[in-house]
Chain A
Amino acid sequence: EPEVTQTPSHQVTQMGQEVILRCVPISNHLYFYWYRQILGQKVEFLVSFYNNEISEKSEIFDDQFSVERPDGSNFTLKIRSTKLEDSAMYFCASSEVWNSPLHFGNGTRLTVT
């Protein structure tokens, strides 16, 4: 069964550094998402992406965050200048159409020291 793949599985970075989290959504899916889960807490929506542009974003998704689909397969989340509170598990997801279930990747655990 097709799946969403995320790399790396774990990223450690120093405060103030830029990080790029990478995702390969399921190939025939049209909608892409980033969610995050701070350790032990609920999963929170960050951003949705459709037709090569951001369709919706949350309050968490401030100027430090950006997303890109640089080619036909990858979907990336960039954090420009990481803060300690950005430490979390970041999940990429995709859905086939607008109201179909989200399929999540295995997540990237980001640790900011």
Chain B
Amino acid sequence: AQKVTQAQTEISVVEKEDVTLDCVYETRDTTYYLFWYKQPPSGELVFLIRRNSFDEQNEISGRYSWNFQKSTSSFNFTITASQVVDSAVYFCALSEAMIKAAGNKLTFGGGTRVLVKP
């Protein structure tokens, strides 16, 4: 069975500090997808990134960067120079998606609440 663990339940930082969110996953499959979603206080789930298991290149998008390490089953997320608007709950998710008809069934981690103080 697949599992996603986000050990940090809450992180509090001061604006402009960097913050790294940890995500560790378990899966028996060799082909899978990893995701990060943001849930701001308004409650919606906003897609941030998807990686497939064959692509271990790190990715940077503006102030966001992701570090995927298959050897440690981790997919960590860093926000550089945090801003108050980054305050949200961030969820890491895993999809095995081996059955085409099932679509992208996601297993979510417990989420990490990030509080950025001015």
Show the binding face of A for B, using Cβ within 8 Å.
Answer: 31, 33, 35, 41-45, 48, 50-51, 55-56, 89, 91, 93, 95, 98-107, 109
Contacts and interface: CB of A to CB of B under 8 A. Distances in A.
B47 A102 contact: yes
B17 to A, nearest CB: 25
Contact of A43 (B47, B101, B108): B108
Mostly helix, strand, loop or mixed at chain B's interface? mixed
Nearest to B95: A99
A109 B111 CA distance: 19
A43 B95 CA distance: 13
A107 B43 CA distance: 7
Given A45-B106, A93-B45, A102-B106, 6 more contacts: A41-B110, A43-B91, A100-B104, A104-B44, A106-B43, A107-B44
Interface in B14-64: 33, 35, 37, 42-47, 50
Classify chain B: how many residues form its interface, as a range: 20 to 34
Interface string B75-118: 00000000000000001010101011111111111110000000
A99 B35 CA distance: 12
A55 to B, nearest CB: 4
Interface of B: 33, 35, 37, 42-47, 50, 91, 93, 95, 97, 99-111
Contacts of A99: 33, 95, 97, 104
Contacts of A33: 103-105
14 contacts: A33-B104, A42-B111, A43-B93, A50-B102, A50-B103, A56-B103, A89-B43, A98-B100, A98-B104, A99-B33, A99-B95, A101-B35, A101-B104, A104-B45
B44 A106 contact: yes
Given A42-B91, A107-B43, A107-B44, A56 B108 contact: no
